[in-house]
Amino acid sequence: MQKQNNIIALTEEFLDYINFARNYSKNTIISYRNDLKQFTVFLIKTEYGEYDEKDNKGVDLEKVDLSLLKSYVADLFEQQKLDIKKARKFTNRSISRKISVLKSFFKYMYRKKHITSNPASALGFPKMEKKLPSYLTAPEMNTLLDKIGEDELNFIDKAIVELFYSTGMRLNELINLKMQDFNFSSNTVKVTGKGSKQRIVPFGSKALAALNNYLQIRDILNFKNHEYFFLNRSGKKLYPMELERMVKKHLSKVTDIKKKSPHVLRHTFATHLLDGGADIRAVKELLGHESLSTTQVYTHVSPEKLKKVYKQSHPKA
C-alpha cells in the first residue's frame, strides 16, 4: 500500500486544508475529524476485521468504491436504529452531514490526484424531514425585550438580545465582535461569519439605545481598553455557554418552544423580515448565507401572515 494513499495521513492533509485554506471554524473541523475517524474505523474493520487505534493501520483510498461507501451508509442506518432504541438523537440529518463530509473529502482527494476517480460523487443523501425553524411571534419578542428592560442590571443582556434580533447574527459572530466593528454614525456593524467572510449589517434605533447604555456601564467599570465589544461582568470575553444560558433564561419567560437558544433570535429576525415583505435575497445577504436555498427555510407561512392574507383577500373575512 502506498503511504501517500493511507486514509489516516490524507485525513490530516484534508483537515489542514479546511483549516488554513478554507478558514473553517474550530467546531466544524472537530466535527469533520470525528466523522472521518468514524469512516476510517469502518474501513479498517472491513479490511482487517478489527480496529486498534495503537496499530495506526490505514486503508488505501484507491480500494474505496461506491459499493463500500454505500455499505458504510447502510451501517450508519443500522446504528441509527440502535440509537433510537436508546433514545439518542441520531437522525437522517446527522447521516446527511456525514455523507456531505465524505463528499468534500473525496472531492479534495480526487482534485489533488490522490485517487484516480471519485466514488463519493454518486453517493446520495437520505430523505430529510422538513423542519420549520423555531421563532418568536412579534408580541412574544416585544414581551421579551420589555421584560429584560425592566431590570437595569440586565444592561448587557438587553444589548445582546436587541442586537441578535436587530441583525440576525450567529452566536460566534456576536461574541467575536470588536469595538472597531461598530459604526454608530451609520448604525451598522461589520460581522465576520463562516469562512472569515465579512458583511455589513444595519441595526435599529432600539438596538442602538441598548448598545449605548451598555457602553456607558462598560466605561464606568473601566473595561474600555478591551478589544472585544461584549464582556461579562468580570471584564472578560463572553464564552458561548455563558451566552446560551442567558438567552435561554429570558426565552423561558415568554415562550414554550423546545429549543431556547440564540439561534431562535436569528430565526425570529429572518421570519419577521420576510413576513414584513423583505426581499429574500436581501435577507440572504443579512444572514450571511452562501446559498439562497438555505434562506428559503424561512419562507414558511406564519400564522400572523396567514391571517393577514386571509383578511385582505377573502370576501367573508
Same domain flag for 112 and 226 = no
Q: Of the residues 62, 96, 122, which one is the last residue of a structural domain?
A: 122
Q: What is the pLDDT of residue 54?
A: 66
Q: Are 193 and 173 in contact (CB under 8 A)?
A: yes
Same domain flag for 206 and 271 = yes
Q: Is residue 130 part of a domain?
A: no
Q: What does each of the 317 residues of the chain score in pLDDT, given as a tens digit?
A: 344 568 888 999 999 999 999 989 888 999 999 999 999 999 998 988 777 776 667 788 998 999 999 999 999 988 877 765 554 556 888 899 999 999 999 999 999 999 999 999 999 888 766 677 889 999 999 999 998 876 666 889 999 999 999 999 999 999 999 999 999 999 999 999 988 899 999 999 999 999 999 999 888 887 767 889 999 888 889 999 999 999 999 999 999 998 899 999 999 999 999 888 889 999 999 999 988 888 888 876 555 665 666 677 667 65
CA distance 239 to 231: 9
CA distance 40 to 51: 9
What cell does 185 get? Answer: 454614525
Same domain flag for 176 and 291 = yes
Q: Is residue 259 part of a domain?
A: yes
User: What angle (nearest 5°) sits at the alpha carbon of residue 95, between those of residues 93 and 99?
Assistant: 115
Q: Are 176 and 248 in contact (CB under 8 A)?
A: no
Q: How many residues does the chain have?
A: 317
Same domain flag for 110 and 150 = no
Q: Is residue 132 part of a domain?
A: no
- Measure the CA dihedral 246/193/104/281, to 10°: 110
CA distance 98 to 271: 29
**Partners of 28 in the β-ladder:** none
Q: Are 189 and 247 in contact (CB under 8 A)?
A: no
Same domain flag for 145 and 105 = no
Q: What's the domain range around 23?
A: 3-122
Q: Specify the CATH number for the domain of residue 217.
A: 1.10.443.10
Q: Of the residues 122, 154, 183, which one is the last residue of a structural domain?
A: 122
Q: Is residue 133 part of a domain?
A: no
Same domain flag for 230 and 93 = no
Q: Specify the CATH number for the domain of residue 84.
A: 1.10.150.130
Q: What is the pLDDT of residue 141?
A: 95
Q: What is the pLDDT of residue 87?
A: 46
- Active-site annotation, residues: 170, 194, 263, 266, 289, 298
What cell does 181 get? Answer: 466593528
Q: Is residue 42 part of a domain?
A: yes
Same domain flag for 289 and 181 = yes
Q: How many domains does the chain have?
A: 2
Q: Of the residues 122, 157, 175, which one is the last residue of a structural domain?
A: 122
**Partners of 231 in the β-ladder:** 237
- Measure the CA dihedral 158/163/165/168, to 10°: -150
Same domain flag for 108 and 30 = yes
Same domain flag for 90 and 152 = no
Tell me which amino acid residue 49 is. G
Q: Which residues contact 154 (CB under 8 A, 6 or more apart)?
A: 148
User: What angle (nearest 5°) sits at the alpha carbon of residue 91, between those of residues 96 and 49?
Assistant: 75
Q: Terminal CA-to-CA distance of the chain, rounded, Å? A: 74
Q: What is the pLDDT of residue 185?
A: 95
Same domain flag for 114 and 229 = no
Same domain flag for 259 and 155 = yes
φ/ψ bin of 195: left (φ > 0), alpha (ψ from -120 to 50), beta (otherwise): left
